[in-house]
Amino acid sequence: MKDIKNRLLLLMLALMLTAACGSDDGEATAPAAPSVDGVEYEILSAEDFTAEELMTKLFADGSANLGAGIDASTLRTMFLDALGKRTRELEEALGVKGITLGYRRVKYLYNSTDHQGNPVKLSSVVYWNRYKLDGWHDVTPDNICLVEHYTITSDAEAPSNSYPLEAHITGNSVVVMPDYLGYGYTAERLHPYLNYDLAAVNSIDALKAAYTICRDHSPKMLAGSWSLSVLGASQGGSNALAVHKYLDANPTLAREWRFSHSYCAAGAYSLAETISTYLRWGELEYPVVLPLVLKSMIASYPEIMGAYSEEDFYSPEYNAIKPLVDAALADKKHTTTQINAIFFDHFGVDGKGKVLPRDILSAEAMDFSSPMMKALFACFEKNDLTKGWTPKHPVKFYHSKDDNVVPYENVEAAMAVFGTMATLQNAPAGTKHVESCAMWMFAVFMGGI
């Protein structure tokens, strides 16, 4: 699956600069701006880099395998060809020669709240398109995109510490990517995984601060009839729908930010459906989700979960290795793949990347009628994005019927109640989770947001 994602990345890099970067550098009449009175931020770093330099940054961590069906010299030729084409188009639109396409990336802190309602400073990044001539110039954006990142456990993968691919698939957009509580500036803290109310608040606060940064440092950001869209894949897909729900519950806010739609891929919109399906499958290919979810629910809802410890939910066999998993989650240096490997090493089925729920969970945790599981499912109810509301703005879904991490039942539950406000595109048959997320990124890049 990683190899498939790498090949898609190579294709996208070759095509990236054919995406719209804005057609002119003229001033547009600025419509009414959102209210960001009192919003504070602290810029931690700001950098400009060319589109060619972006390729180097995207490959810097070794995540993209240059040997995956294409060598570096061929990739460079493809990239430079696309760069030349887009440069000529923008030069013609601007009536100038000798420009170099690029981006600005700003890393910043902003004020928000944690899962206990306490004030907290969180980190995020914002990107926008630029070009270089006699210095750097901004390009008037078409849209603002709030992009929610997928599940990570290594802080090195947080948007403020990396250069996420999904920050560069939305064409000529201002892109805001929050780290979430527990990563970036707050890496020493627990990440309240799949606590959707918190994710929505933290994301909207990041958006407000990013807009304020754009207002203060780039007048171009206030020009044009932009709109806001929210998108993401995997955990990012869930969080995008959570932000959508939050905006629809606050119509004044939605109007003020010109909310257009959400585009959600492979998200766990119903935790109850997800966990129930895992037990029905009888196998887990992404077991790290269990401690991530359980730690989050216990920390987020002590009034519901206060009578139970994590150990109550696990088998004696898992409790014996739990310190290994906990240490890997706490240090924020291990990826999900590395943490899953701890499970596979101890509970792997026939040497494969799968484990049996009954090997990890206690007998009481395997019984949905037990008081302990009723309490856990009460927490899930608080985070069920398929119940209690009907979207007022369109939501686009992308999911695979063969998703091996986030069951298809999630999007079925949403489609069953969202009516005509929701549309669904299925990934090709046989597509697994990571592969489908990569395909969604390619679909966004090629087809737009």
71-119 pLDDT, tens digit each: 556 656 666 676 777 788 889 988 999 999 899 999 999 999 999 999 9
Give pTM, 2 decimals. 0.91
Report how far residue 445's alpha carbon sits from residue 112's, in angstroms, rounded to the nearest whole number: 31
Q: How far apart (Å, rounded) are the C-alpha atoms in residues 193 and 290?
A: 10
For position 29, what pLDDT does the model report? 45
> Rounded to whole angstroms, how far apart are CA atoms 316 and 298?
20
Return d(Cα 172, Cα 18) in angstroms, integer. Answer: 11
Give the contacts of 424 (CB within 8 A, at least 6 positions apart): 396, 397, 398, 399, 411, 415
Q: Could you tell me which of 163, 162, 183 has the C-alpha nearest to residue 54?
A: 163
Question: Are 174 and 221 within 8 A, CB to CB?
Answer: yes
CB proximity list for 9: less than 8 A, separation 6 or greater: 58, 64, 165, 438
* Mean pLDDT per 10-residue section of the chain, whose length is 449 residues: 53 52 46 83 96 77 40 61 78 90 95 97 96 91 95 97 89 94 98 97 98 90 85 98 98 95 98 93 93 97 97 97 98 96 88 85 95 97 96 98 96 97 96 92 85
Contact residues for 3 (Cβ-Cβ < 8 A; gap 6+): 65, 68
Would you say 228 and 147 are in contact if contact means Cβ atoms under 8 Å apart? no
Q: How far apart are CA 63 and CA 105, in angstroms?
A: 20
Q: What is the pLDDT of residue 26?
A: 43
The Cα 411–Cα 267 span in angstroms is 8
The pLDDT of residue 162: 93
pLDDT, residue 63, reads: 43
pLDDT at 70: 45
Q: Are strands 119-133 and 173-178 parallel, antiparallel or unpaired?
A: antiparallel
**Is 263 within 8 Å of 444 (Cβ atoms)?**
yes
- How many CA atoms does the CB half-sphere of 212 hold within 13 Å? 19
Residues 6+ apart with CB under 8 A from 118: none
What is the pLDDT at residue 345?
Answer: 92
For residue 375, the tally of other CB atoms under 10 A from its CB is: 17
pLDDT for residue 78: 63
d(CA 362, CA 368): 12
Residue ranges with strand state E in 275-421? 395-399
Q: Name residue 395's beta-bridge partners.
A: 262, 422
CB distance 281 to 349 below 8 Å: no
> Which two three-digit tokens encode residue 287?
């077991």
Q: Which residue in the block uniquely carries the two structure tokens 């206990």? A: 116
Question: What's the rounded Cα separation, in Å, for the pair 442 and 422?
Answer: 21
**Nearest Cα residue to 228 out of 199, 197, 206:** 206
First CA to last CA distance, the chain? 24
